[in-house]
């Protein structure tokens, strides 16, 4: 990566945007120029990168120019408006929102799983839902080894997935509750401190939430199969960072728990933490700040012939969002640099 690139971060003052900037620096991404965009509310703020303070710019059609990459994490409406403009100008857009994920012709990418989807990206690439991303790196090696018939997943998602206001709400409600007081919920439909909420995003006519349908549809698109049956229940829990998932996988062929453990231990982006005798299994605190998806509680499903149960935990701000976006940019540079219009 000797060549350097002009990179824009859209939503630079948000939780994911800040994480993107940290990861660009930590991974020594070849940045020639970093520009940080946000709304007018952030005007006057600065962002630190490689020991320098960078002024935040207000995003507009006039300012979104002279870039090679633009990493978007400012909400679907912003991506809808500005990604096509940037793409038309030859800027490779990597979008963390849901807007383009299921659009025909837009690749939805987890680099460890379906990097070949980047061959024809037309300057817009979608990042998957945070819970989908961490599940994909676990499912892919099992799919390749023995095939998958059905996936049943229950997620336990941290408040950081709902942004900085949700983080503050958990902090404030926790303090209030411990002082014998109550604070009315604003970010969620019910109090989140010392509670769990079985709803993420809005309910649809079929009784699922939009978040659950995202996981179902995105899984099929990334794995390239409409034949895999997927169902999901998504739950918000009073954890600041890292999403946890209980995943039941019905496979086409038999896979023992030991073989699943070995398979996952040799999978890039996955770390197996699974020693029940020593009470070793992954927790959200273990995964926070880590790049790998942690997997444990690997066991046979005793209710069917070909089934594996497991528990996985990942930092939703990293592999679930910022890290995956930066990995996509790295992959484009290393394998598909001829697709960058510079």
- List 94's β-bridge partners, or say none: 71, 125
Per DSSP, helices labelled H in 179-256 are: 210-223
Alpha helices in 27-129 (DSSP H): 76-88, 111-114
Distance CA 246, CA 248 (A): 7
Cβ-contact 85, 64 below 8 angstroms: yes
Task: Identify the sign of the CA torsion 287, 293, 299, 301.
Answer: positive
- The residue count of the chain comes to 342
d(CA 77, CA 60): 13
Going edge to edge, which strands form the sheet with 243-251? 229-236, 148-157, 243-251, 307-314, 293-300, 270-272
Nearest 10 degrees: CA dihedral of 48, 51, 53, 56? -40
Rg (CA), the chain: 20
Could you give phi then psi for residue 316, rounded to 5 degrees?
-65, -25
Catalytic residues: 130, 243
Two structure tokens written together for 239: 């954890």
Cβ pair 176, 185 in contact under 8 A: no
Tokens of 88: 């038309």
């Amino acid at each position: 990566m000797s060549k350097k690139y002009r990179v824009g971060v859209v939503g630079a003052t948000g939780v994911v945007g800040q994480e993107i900037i940290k990861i660009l620096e930590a991974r020594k991404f070849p940045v020639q120029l970093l520009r940080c965009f946000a709304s007018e509310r952030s005007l006057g703020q600065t962002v630190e990168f490689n020991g320098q303070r960078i002024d935040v710019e207000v995003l507009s059609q006039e300012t979104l120019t002279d870039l090679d990459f633009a990493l978007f994490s400012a909400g679907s409406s912003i991506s809808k408006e500005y990604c096509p403009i940037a793409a038309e100008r030859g800027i490779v857009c990597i979008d963390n929102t849901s807007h383009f994920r299921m659009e025909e012709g837009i690749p939805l990418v987890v680099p460890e799983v379906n990097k070949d989807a980047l061959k024809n990206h037309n300057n817009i690439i979608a990042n998957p839902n945070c819970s989908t991303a961490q599940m994909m790196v676990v499912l892919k090696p099992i799919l390749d080894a023995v095939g998958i018939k059905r996936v049943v997943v229950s997620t336990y998602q941290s408040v950081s997935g709902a942004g900085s206001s949700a983080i503050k709400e958990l902090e404030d409600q926790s303090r209030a509750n411990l002082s014998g007081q109550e604070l009315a919920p604003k970010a969620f439909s019910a109090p989140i401190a010392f509670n769990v909420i079985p709803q993420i995003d809005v309910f649809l006519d079929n009784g699922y939430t939009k978040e659950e349908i995202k996981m179902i549809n995105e899984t099929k698109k990334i794995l390239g199969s409409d034949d895999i049956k997927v169902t999901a229940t998504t739950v918000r829990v009073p954890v600041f960072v890292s999403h946890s998932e209980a995943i039941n996988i019905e496979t086409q062929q038999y896979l023992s728990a030991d073989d699943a453990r070995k398979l996952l231990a040799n999978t890039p982006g996955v770390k197996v933490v699974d020693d029940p005798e020593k009470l070793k299994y992954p927790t959200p605190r273990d995964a926070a700040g880590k790049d790998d998806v942690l997997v444990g509680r690997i066991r046979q499903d005793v209710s069917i012939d070909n089934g594996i149960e497991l528990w996985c935990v990942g930092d939703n701000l990293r592999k679930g969002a910022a890290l995956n976006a930066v990995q996509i940019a790295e992959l484009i540079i290393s394998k598909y640099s001829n697709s960058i219009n510079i």
